[in-house]
Amino acid sequence: MKTKREDIRNIAIIAHVDHGKTTLVDELLKQSGVFRENQDVAERVMDSNDIERERGITILSKNTAVFYKNTKINIIDTPGHADFGGEVERVLKMVNGVVLVVDAFEGAMPQTKFVLKKALALKLPVIVCINKIDRPEARPDGVIDEVLELLMDLGATDEQLDCPFLYASARDGYATYNEEDEPADMIPLFETILDYIPAPEGDPDAGTQMLISTIDYNEYVGRIGVGKVDNGTISVNQDVIVVNHHEPDKQKKVKISKLYEFDGLNKVEVKEAGIGSIVAISGIADISIGDSICSPDNPSPIKFQKISEPTIAMQFVVNDSPFAGQEGKYVTSRHLRERLFRELNTDVSLRVTETENTDSFTVAGRGELHLSVLIENMRREGYEFAVSKAEVLYKTDENGKRLEPIELAYIDVPDEFTGTVIDKLSQRKGELQNMGMSNGGYTRLEFSIPSRGLIGYRGEFLTDTKGNGIMNTSFDGYAPYKGDIQYRSQGSLIAYEAGESVTYGLFSAQERGTLFIGPGEKVYAGMVIGQNGKAEDIELNVCKSKHLTNTRSSGADEALKLTPPRILSLEEALDFIDTDELLEVTPKSLRIRKKILDSKMRKRGIK
């Protein structure tokens, strides 16, 4: 018989990037007494990975738990970026309700819509928290109307429409029921969670049933499966069977060796757990997302949604440039292979396939950000390798027609740049679907555009809008191929010989375009040292110095003025490279190079 477990609430916090989810979780942790009075707590304590801290984004969903009035509230902080949407879909299977955080100025954004749609489809109740209410330009009433409109557009039920609204400032640590209320603390939010979010229910006397929703990985114990106990109880040393809804043949007997529950930021070992508990299990070697853990007498798998397929792929290759092996610690194909396959332990939206060439691997992901985060992580761990330009993954329909992935791009730009953006995106096969006024002198544009049309566009977009534009995308499905797109209208400046760059050589080179290097840098033949102002590639000798004669002194060079070089970040370099180029990635440097370094061979290849 199904019963409710009143001492537990399971919630997920969902929002668009930068609307303050992680900061809100920090405050809930602080005010529930997880930290000691004098404990030094990092800001955004849930973002544990270095890249998450630097970029201020959440990449992996995190579990934590707080206690309020003898009730345990399990909280899951989810990512807001479209590239990590795979994480969010699965997390929602563990919870009984969501807290939707919306910025009091920006209002409902595309990602808010994407995640909310998933939550409503699972019939989850929603608490809306209007955050950053202390912003001078906050407009809470307008935002509430936007959220209600969005709920209606997404087909919310009457109960879901009748959701509670709270006003909060996560940074200052308070939430209130009404705008006029005196701000004090987070108690209104805690109370609303207890009143409005239903307690988990299940049958405590039935056989064990639990769905694995996320995977954690630890060097010492290997893979750790995290999920919610749906029925029965689960205990240490229990014999269970692993089954999967999408793989009917999978049946594997295993023993539960360790069981953990979450408490604050820690995992605490427990002997057993009942219905509604969110637990972590270690000791099952190849456990994966979507597996159900059941008691042997009745192994029935729990249904779950298939993880969305990757849309974009890159080649990861062993570095074979003249500077190979000088800066990295892990350089061989064995290292590269081990590291990429290890990433599959925790990242379910990633695919790695081996190619005919043992030195090259195809890595497919959900978007450029998804893959660039992996590249940056590997680079920091001491790996050295090269990557090719991102290409989209095509499909064919039953009539043999080529289909390509299409995205919806939502763009907010200051009015004066609207023309440029529409022009650029039309050249990249984008179709304008909608155009309207946004707040504060901004225009909102909605485009339907092939995924490959967005590759390499982000950097150009920021330049065109002087850094004031905001662009968000979400995957919309596959559609017939839209025709060829020219990625780059300008060629590359290529070093002609190996050596060290000198001012004299660079001075004559800078008249041809924009340089990526300064004097005193090591270069090799075939390395890209800048961007040409015209469409073709040019080879230049940047290592040549002036010949000395009786009448010319060596000091004359010092009067030459160089324009500072344009230093590319990882994203900009991935955007810049063309299909015949590679990006050489080492812990210390990023170098762009031609795939074929020898200039004669390269010209033959073109012919």
Q: 247: number of CA atoms within 13 Å, CB side? A: 12
Residue with tokens 């003898």: 70
Q: Is 367 annotated as a binding residue?
A: no
Give SS3 for 87: helix
Q: Is 18 annotated as a binding residue?
A: yes
Residue 153, Cβ neighbours under 10 Å: how many? 12
**421: which 2 tokens?**
């953006």
Q: Is 64 annotated as a binding residue?
A: no
Give SS3 for 531: strand
Contact 77, 64 (CB under 8 A): yes
Q: How far apart are CA 73 and CA 542, in angstroms?
A: 63
42 CB-near residues (< 8 Å, 6+ apart): none
Contact 318, 359 (CB under 8 A): yes
Position 565: which residue type? Answer: P
Contact 292, 231 (CB under 8 A): no
Residue 214, Cβ neighbours under 10 Å: how many? 23
* Angle of the 187-196 helix axis to the 21-31 helix axis, nearest 10: 100
Q: How far apart are CA 232 and CA 234, in angstroms?
A: 7
Angle at 183 between CA 177 and CA 189, to 5 degrees: 45
Pairing of strands 538-540, 492-495: parallel
**344: which 2 tokens?**
């599959």
Q: Is 563 annotated as a binding residue?
A: no
Residue with tokens 């309700």: 97
Q: Is 132 annotated as a binding residue?
A: yes
* Angle of the 110-121 helix axis to the 140-153 helix axis, nearest 10: 50
Classify burial at 544, counting beta carbons within 10 Å of its beta carbon; exposed 0-12, middle 13-18, buried 19 or more: middle
Q: Is 547 annotated as a binding residue?
A: no
**206: which 2 tokens?**
């039935």
CA-only gyration radius of the chain, Å: 27
Q: Is 10 annotated as a binding residue?
A: no
Angle at 392 between CA 91 and CA 419, to 5 degrees: 95
Plot region of 83 (φ>0 → left; ψ -120 to 50 → alpha; else → beta): alpha
Q: What is the dihedral of CA 152, 153, 155, 156, to 10 degrees?
A: -40
Q: How far apart are CA 218 and CA 216, in angstroms?
A: 7
Q: Is 203 annotated as a binding residue?
A: no
> Can you list the pairs that 353-362 forms with residues at least 24 positions away whose Cβ atoms lie under 8 Å?
355/315, 358/333, 359/317, 359/318, 359/320, 359/333, 360/315, 360/316, 360/317, 360/318, 361/315, 361/316, 361/317, 361/336, 361/337, 362/313, 362/314, 362/315, 362/316
Q: How far apart are CA 472 and CA 16, in angstroms?
A: 10
Q: How far apart are CA 588 and CA 53, in angstroms?
A: 20
Residue set of the binding site: 18-23, 131-134
Question: Residue ranges for the binding site for GTP?
Answer: 18-23, 131-134
